[in-house]
Amino acid sequence: MNMENQRKKTSGRKKIEIKKLDKQTSKQVTFSKRRQGLFKKASELCVLCGAHAAIVVFSPADKLYCFGQPNTDTILDSYISGTTEFGDLKSAGNSQNYEEYNKQYEEALKMLELEKKKLADAENLARFWNTNDWWNDSIDYMSSDQLEQFMVSIYELRRKLIEKADEHVMKLNM
Amino acid sequence: MNMENQRKKTSGRKKIEIKKLDKQTSKQVTFSKRRQGLFKKASELCVLCGAHAAIVVFSPADKLYCFGQPNTDTILDSYISGTTEFGDLKSAGNSQNYEEYNKQYEEALKMLELEKKKLADAENLARFWNTNDWWNDSIDYMSSDQLEQFMVSIYELRRKLIEKADEHVMKLNM
DNA sequence: TGAGCTATATATAATTA
DNA sequence: TTAATTATATATAGCTC
């Protein structure tokens, strides 16, 4: 009713040149938004195509962000071991010699082993499972049919878990 | 030939669910297009914000593609040396660093929160549960303890589901 | 495989709360 | 600084060649 409604509230998105932003604050905001978008795109690529990917980003303030499907280190490990075979060739083209590279590769391996032992990712996962209730909540929105389907999935998962638990020689009685 | 071609030439872009594509050919095409898009976005992020980034992608056919600003290896080196140091501290049981490490986890959480909102639509949710396997996969990375915790969660969920199912007067036999 | 072509879905720049 | 809003720029799904 009110005539003010008809006015454009914002000028909307403007076209920008892809060149270094000078304003510190907009650089920050843009980085934040676009990093999110980038990771989302990567995630979609992985899900849609069954691809695996890792992204490492250093923000303008040199803060580290990363993404990995299934996780960053696995992908990077694959990349490094794959490319290490071409160490000679690479050292010719890059400012990095083979030895140095190999050393870093071994460090990475060590780290991976460590990480596997500590299962840092899994720890995160476990925390996720234990602290979030969105799946519990979500069942409230399901129809009977959907619930039924969902339970089949859960049941399958349970079976797999028990199978997995067996491997770990755990005693469970679900 | 005739003028009826003022009709829409194509149906245009359609909304798709973010779930694994089954057709091999469309998987390839989509991968190709989206990988290009991803790298472009990364490039823009770097230019606009003065960020540094590296991306490593394995295609569904396990072919390697990578992107790096200024180049992949430099970024990955930084990442590895950064996290390796970190890994050492972690192995010493430093909980402060664990928190730092958890920032990635929190990023993931944020994304999941976003997903949650989207998935509020129960229809999508149901399909999600039935078509995605990331949780099944993820249990491979868990330690015994974590598995145990996880199973407790699942068990709880199962209980809730059964409770819920009761409301729907469904007969279940889990 | 790859290169256009729409029509539409998404991302996001500018702005406000 | 963290979020909404909104108008617009971009990315892309489905086709065609």
Return the minimum-mean-pLDDT range out of A92-101, B62-71, B103-112, B123-132: A92-101
Nucleotides of C under 7 A from a protein CB: 1-2, 5-16
Peptide bond into B70 cis (omega under 30): yes
Does residue B90 surpass a pLDDT of 70? Answer: no
Question: Which pLDDT score is estimated for A45?
Answer: 92
- β A64-69/A52-58 pair status: antiparallel
Contacts of B55 in chain A (CB under 8 A): 42, 53-56
pLDDT tens by residue, B47-83 = 899 999 999 999 988 888 888 888 888 888 888 877 5
Any idea which nucleotide's C1' is nearest the CA of B15?
C9
Question: Which pLDDT score is estimated for A90?
Answer: 33
Return the minimum-mean-pLDDT range out of A95-104, B4-13, B14-23, B146-155: A95-104
Indicate yes or no: CB of B80 within 8 angstroms of CB of A82: no
Contacts of A140-144 with C-beta under 8 Å, sequence gap 24+, read A140/B164, A141/B120, A141/B121, A141/B122, A141/B125, A142/B122, A142/B125, A142/B126, A143/B122, A144/B168, A144/B170
CA atom of A2 to C1′ atom of C17, Å:
20
Question: Which pLDDT score is estimated for B160?
Answer: 62
Does residue B14 surpass a pLDDT of 50? Answer: yes
Q: How far apart are CA A65 and CA A167, in angstroms?
A: 34
Q: Please give the single-letter amino acid code of residue A10.
A: T
Considering CB atoms only, which of B20, B79, B111 is closest to A40? B111
- State whether residue A41 sits within 8 Å of chain B by CB: yes
Mean pLDDT, contiguous 10-residue spans, chain A (174 residues): 54 88 89 90 90 90 85 84 45 34 40 38 41 51 59 63 52 40
- State whether residue B89 sits within 8 Å of chain A by CB: no
Band of residue B19 on the pLDDT scale cut at 50, 70, 90: confident
User: Of chain A residues 114-133, which have a CB less than 8 A from chain B?
Assistant: 114-115, 118-130, 132
Question: Which pLDDT score is estimated for B45?
Answer: 92
Question: Which pLDDT score is estimated for A31?
Answer: 93
- State whether residue B42 sits within 8 Å of chain A by CB: yes
